[in-house]
Amino acid sequence: MKKNYTIKDIAELAGVSKGTVDRVMHKRGKVSSKALEKVNKVLDKIEYKPNPIAKSLKNNKVYNIAILLPDANEDPYWLPCYEAIDQIENEFSHFGIKINKGLFKPYSTKSFKKAAELVISKKPDALLMVPLFNKEAEIIAEKCLEASIKIATFNNYIKDHKVNLEIGQNLFQSGRVAAKLFNMLFGKKASLAVLHIDEAFQNASHMQEKERGFKDYYTQKEDLDYSITVYNLNKNSKISLEENIESFLKTVHEVDGIFITTSKSYLLANPISSYLPNSIIIGYDLVAENIKFLKEDKIAFLIHQDPKKQVYLSLTRLIEFFLFDKAFQESVTLPIDIINTENYQQYLD
């Protein structure tokens, strides 16, 4: 059982005043070599960690954390993040934590840039963001670095750019999870489809990673008789998303499993029952519409990316850094939760 030493304790042990101890610790100079040695001798013997509570009280600083994330009105996937933010704000308001939300449209780089500029102009101590647009995010990150604003990301990564904190899921591996589930369901012979459904393009790298993981699993398995076909059901200049889905359903005749790499499974889940009644869907994310179809057994599994947990964890890590000098663990990968009708409830809080 070790004692928690205070500066006063150390001063007494070393035979100097707490001022001198303080100067040694903060390397502020103005200390004689004799005194330095005396203090260091004590410091070597005992293990001193400053009391974070006293530190925090003295500091009495307000930390501004900016969060840049998509508007949940545009995509309900982001809604749980808001809850996490509210919760954190409540819990830590008395610790001097202020949070400033910046929302952007998930399909507009312009909106992203605008929201980012606005949020940065207020000179926060940290910026937590969803870097949906890699190039633009990189520029923002660069600006933060210059202004010595701590930078953290969640849900997505910035390629080739170091950040202080990076929280997300192993997307490649989540593709493998889906593949494994299909493998269990269908055994040796399977006709599979990977569907990228999205109205916008910014999730491209996300979707690709998942597809790669999915294929990787099957490639590694030997003596399996399978086929994987990839479809891009995106809105483009010529045809709408709905039309694209419709034509997909008309063209494809036999498919055992459909892996949908975005949270838009619900767009397929309903029409599919008339076209491909025996196909099984695995999708992503616990948004309300997906859960509805999960309950109706039109979606077999959902993979949960837990955006709420991602935000919560990011924010607590930032706060612990500011308040208690806790070092960042640069990259954190969250579990890949497998969801079915029987366990979705527990993940919703």
**Based on CB atoms, which residue is closest to DNA, 54 or 239?**
54
57 is a contact residue toward DNA (CB under 7 A): yes
Contact 317, 165 (CB under 8 A): yes
The one segment of 58-66, 184-192, 224-232, 237-245 that binds DNA by CB under 7 A: 58-66
173 is a contact residue toward its own copies (CB under 8 A): yes
53 is a contact residue toward its own copies (CB under 8 A): yes
Q: Cα(first)–Cα(last) distance of the chain, in Å?
A: 38
3-state secondary structure of 270: helix
Q: How far apart are CA 226 and CA 189, in angstroms?
A: 6
Contact map string, positions 274 to 303, toward its own copies, x by CB under 8 A: --------------------------x---
336 is a contact residue toward its own copies (CB under 8 A): yes
87 is a contact residue toward its own copies (CB under 8 A): no
17 is a contact residue toward DNA (CB under 7 A): yes
Question: Which residue bears the tokens 């059982």?
Answer: 1
Minimum CB separation of residue 288 from DNA in Å reads: 41
Q: How far apart are CA 120 and CA 132, in angstroms?
A: 17
Count CB neighbours of 337 within 10 A.
19
Q: According to CB under 8 A, which one of 9, 17, 22, 52 is a site residue for its own copies?
A: 52
The one segment of 21-29, 87-95, 191-199, 253-261 that binds its own copies by CB under 8 A: 87-95
Q: According to CB under 7 A, which one of 50, 74, 136, 235 is a site residue for DNA?
A: 50
Question: Which residue bears the tokens 């633009």?
Answer: 136
Q: According to CB under 8 A, which one of 13, 25, 139, 185 is a site residue for its own copies?
A: 185
Judged by beta carbon distances under 5 to 8 A according to partner kind, the member of DNA, its own copies, none in contact with residue 23 is DNA
Per residue, the 3-state secondary structure of 26-76, as one string, reads CCCCCCCHHHHHHHHHHHHHCCCCCCHHHHHHHHCCCEEEEEEEECCCCCH
Q: How far apart are CA 138 and CA 289, in angstroms?
A: 33
Count CB neighbours of 225 within 10 A.
9
Question: What are the residues binding DNA (CB under 7 A)?
Answer: 6-8, 16-20, 22-23, 25-26, 29-35, 50-51, 54-55, 57-60
